[in-house]
Amino acid sequence: MKEEQMTTEQRNDLVAYYFERAHESLAEAKYLRDGGYFNGAVTRLYYACFNACRALLTANGIDTSTHNGVKAMISMHFIRKGLLSIEHGSTLADLFNQRHISDYEAYAYRDASSVEFLLPKAEAFVEAVECLAKEK
């Protein structure tokens, strides 16, 4: 079902689902980090932020179906308007790039320090997006 055809209850359920996935992805990232799977941890950090973005967009009735579309809509509707900080925008862009490198580049190896650097940024991003969605 397209998001514009959803009832308020269905939209709220989808927003809650996306935030649940965001928090699960953060937990998965920590689990992978602890197991030494640093590339996978970086990927999960990206998906935590991506799902938080999907929740925020859904809460605001903004429909997009691609990763680039999500980034563009977050930038247009929330970062450029000052509702999310430029730092949060940089976090999303950096995690998008790091995920792409981790998943698709040959000989891409992440280490514990890269995950430890990105983890608090991803957590802060999810928290900020969740607070913004609750204002809706």
Q: Which residues contact 94 (CB under 8 A, 6 or more apart)?
A: 118, 121
C-alpha span between 92 and 74 (Å, rounded): 9
Mean pLDDT value across residues 55-78? 95
pLDDT band at 6 (very low <50, low <70, confident <90, very high): confident
Query: Each residue of 70-125: pLDDT tens digit?
Result: 999 999 999 999 999 999 999 999 999 999 999 898 998 999 999 999 999 999 99
68's CB contacts (< 8 A; 6+ apart) are none
In order of 25, 28, 112, 115, 131, the CA distances from 35 in angstroms are: 15, 11, 10, 12, 31
Burial 40-70 (b: 16+ CB within 10 A, else e): bbbbbbbbbbbbbbbbbbbbbebebeeeeeb
pLDDT at position 1 is 56
Q: Is the pLDDT of residue 2 over 70?
A: no
pLDDT on residue 39: 95
- The structure's pTM equals 0.94
Q: What is the pLDDT of residue 5?
A: 82
Average pLDDT of span 49-65: 95
Q: What mean pLDDT, rounded, does the chain reach?
A: 94
Q: What is the mean pLDDT of residues 7-24?
A: 96
Instruction: Return the sign of the alpha-carbon dihedral for residues 124, 65, 42, 48.
Output: positive
pLDDT at 3: 65
